Each structure stands twice: as C-alpha cells, then as structure tokens.
Amino acid sequence: MNWKLFLDNELFPPDTSWLIARSVDEAMVLISQQGYPAEMSLDYDLGENKPTGFDFLKRIADDVLNAWPNLNFPLVMLDSHTSDTEGRCRILGLWKSFQNKLARNKEWAAPSNNIVSTAKYGQPSSNQQSCPRLVVAIASRALFDLDESHQIFEEQGAGAYARYQVEHEEMPLAPGVAFPLVRKLLALNTGEQRRVEVTLISRNSADTGLRIFNSIRHHGLDITRAAFTRGESPYRYIESFGAHLFLSASQEDVEKALDAGIAAATIMPSAAGEGRDGQLRIAFDGDAVLFSDEAERVFAESGLDAFNRNEVDAKDKPLPGGPFKPFLAALHTIQSDFDPEHSPIRTALVTARGAPAHERVIRTLRSWGIRIDEALFLGGMDKGVFLKSFGADIFFDDQRKHCESAAGYVATGHVPYGVKNS
C-alpha cells in the first residue's frame, strides 16, 4: 500500500496525506496494518526513556534484512525532520548502511538511487552543524604503533598489558600505518565545513585507552568519539556510528564489518611513509573492492580467456557495486566541493585487468556518475611500483599477494571479500 508515515511524539506533518505515529510501538502497529510505507519522516527523540526514531529504523532494517528476499519492500523515501543534529546523523547514517546492504544483494534489482535520504520536510536550521559526509572508524592499532604493548599482551597477558599502558599513559604513542591517512582526512574539515569524522574503535578498556586519547591530543587530531570494548570485538558499534569505512589490524573484526555491509580493510604492516604533498590520494583495486566479485568468479572458474570473453559480451552491462562503492561515492561528494584541478582528494583505480576487459569498468563508473581521477589497467603487472608513482596514502585490494607487494611501497588495506578469500 502506498502510504506515508510521520513519526513524532509532538509535531504534526505538513499535510493530511501522512499517517501519524507518536511512538515506535504505534509506528509498528501501523506497519502491521498497512505494510511498509512508501515515505517516512522521523523524529529522533520521542520522549524521555522512550525508543528513538533511530531505534525504530534499526528495527525496520533488521526485519527487512532477516526476511530478505522473501519480502515485498517498497522503494522508501526517508526524511529525518529532527532538530537534533546528532540524532539526524545517526538516522541517516543507518539508512545509508541499510541501502548499501540491499544494493549488494543480487535479488534486489532496483537502482540504489531510488532509495534516497531527503530533508524536504525538516531542513536543519542554518546554525546547525551538518552531518559529516564521510565517517571513518579506525582501530587504535591502525592509528598508532602499538606493536610493543601488543607483544606484552600476547606474551604476558591482559594484566601486564594494562599495567604497562597505565604506567606509560603520559608517553605519547608513535604514529601507526594509517596515521598519515587520518591526518589528511581530518584536514578536509575547514571552518564550519565538517566533511569528515574519524571515530576511534578499540578493544582496550577505557582505563587502558586513556593513553590512546592522550596520544590523540598530543598529535593534534580532532577525534572526539570512541568505543572501548575491553577485549570484545567492537564491530557492533561501527554501524551505530554511521561509518562508511572501518580500518583495523584485526581481520576478524574487518570480516564482521564487511558482512554488515560496511567497507572495511585489514591494515597490513608497512614501512611506507606519508604520500606526496598535502593531497589525499587513495587507490582501489576493481573486482571485489569497488565492484562485486561477479567477473572475478568467471576468471577463477574458467580462466583468463573466458573472463575476457565474458567482459566483452557484458561491456554494456554495469558491474554490481562491491563493498567499497559507497566509500568511493562519499569521497566523490566531497570532491564535488572543489574545482577538479585543485581538489584535495585524488583517486585511482589500479587493476590487474587489461584490454579488452577495460571497457566494462569504464562504462560502469560512468553509469554510477562517480569520478575516478586515474585508472591503471596493468594487465597482470606488479602493482607496487605504480602505487609508489601515484603516491597513494592507502591502497585497497582483495588479493593478499597484491597487498604484500603494495605494502612495500604504500600503506595497504587487505579486503577479505569475494571468491579469492572464500
């Protein structure tokens, strides 16, 4: 049924075409009676100690994904009309994550831009801070060099590790592999334009994590949010923070984030320093990173000749998006703030593909409306030296052999996704 839901404990919708729910329970009753709505406008705070608009949306997303694809889910338009900026960001961040999960499901054939986030019924006031367009969650071992203290943990246990961190909490940690990347990401925030937010995710306790926050302050990083989970996997908080990207030294946590529909990579040990000048340069592999592993499966099962024939035959059919498509799209929205010749971000596709398999890639990116500044079709050549020439601050690839080659030159994230990691 084509109907519209307005969830708010006090306000009224702009016209009588909306059905009003004053609580999450009332909204769920309406859905049980009417089916899923075609449009939703959500407040965040629905009363003291009451479930929020975010809680409602999380319940909807979980119900849909648990029943998928045996469910008729309409192309919903979403608005968050709340005056609570943080609440609005949480709602829209969850909605984007939900969209990404649906878009990655091959049973869902509709284009992803038919499910959109709008603010046509409740624009934030001019003095509100806008939601960051890119949220990056980063583990403490990716941000800082914790090798020495981690060795103590491995060899002497959690108690010795905790004592060591407390004893050294006034001693700043040295930068880790992803530190230069984070510094450049945060530099994209200028004045009141908060384009990027970086959130710390850590298996430390809050007590041992004090050294990490002290190190953040020492290095002048604008990171104010964190989740400390005292030995447990922190991945469950990544979606709540609305993250587009998660970087960690733990492959287990990365795999869980990928399963949740969030771009994620395991940071590999690297001696690489900061990339060139102040420009942020990010490089991506294609198949199983920006794109799905659909074509890579053909290669794995039938070889190069069959792969090339398949790609030539399907050159006009865009490749499905992979786990890093939403992250690339978020970078693209920030790039659109700047003249292309003076953009602080530069992206590159660095793929083992060569002609004739190149054309489908180019046409796919064109169909997405996403800009890639440089594209290297290497036809199987080693990627490391090319990444050094590009000056990448980080490179993402699904194949460990390519990651090991790249890590000798640039910071590298392994994406444990797709047929090469099954």
pLDDT for 123 equals 42
Q: Which residues pair with 226 in a beta bridge?
A: 200
- Read off the pLDDT of residues 312-326 as tens digits, 9 standing for 90 and up: 999 999 999 999 998
Q: Alpha-carbon Rg of the chain, whole angstroms?
A: 22
Tokens, residue 31: 């859905």
| In the chain, domain spans | 4-118, 134-267, 280-421
Other C-beta atoms lying within 10 Å of the C-beta of residue 335:
19
Q: Please identify which of the residues 43, 79, 285, 398 carries the catalytic annotation.
A: 285
What are 57-93's pLDDT values in tens digits? 999 988 888 876 666 677 678 888 888 877 888 888 7
Query: For the domain 134-267, what is the CATH superfamily, name and number?
Result: HAD superfamily/HAD-like (3.40.50.1000)
Whether 285 is a known active-site residue: answer yes
Within this chain, domains 4-118 and 134-267 share the same CATH topology: yes
What pTM, to 2 d.p., does this model score?
0.78
| pLDDT band with cut points at 50, 70 and 90 for residue 271 | low
**What is d(CA 38, CA 74) in angstroms, rounded to the nearest whole number?**
6
pLDDT digits (tens, 9 = 90+) for 278-295: 899 999 999 999 999 999
Q: How many helices (H) and strands (E) does the chain have?
A: 15, 15
**pLDDT tens profile 129-142:** 567 779 999 999 99
Closest to 11 in 3D by CA, of 25, 22, 23, 27: 22
Say yes or no to pLDDT of 189 above 70. Answer: yes
- pLDDT reading at 29 higher than 90: yes
Alpha helix positions (H), 168-285: 179-186, 210-218, 251-259
Least confident of 29-38, 86-95, 114-123, 297-306: 114-123
Q: Which pLDDT band holds residue 114 (cuts at 50, 70, 90)? A: very low
User: In the prediction, which pLDDT does 268 show?
Assistant: 94
For range 263-273, the mean pLDDT: 85
Counting residues of the chain whose pLDDT is more than 70, the rounded percentage is 90
As assigned by CATH, the class of the 4-118 domain is alpha beta
- Confidence tier at 120 by pLDDT (50, 70, 90): very low
Instruction: Return all residues near 116 (Cβ < 8 A) that are at least 6 apart.
Output: 77, 78
Cα distance between residue 251 and residue 246, in whole Å = 11
What is d(CA 98, CA 75) in angstroms, rounded to the nearest whole number? 12
What class is the 280-421 domain? alpha beta
Q: Is the pLDDT confidence value at 41 over 70?
A: yes
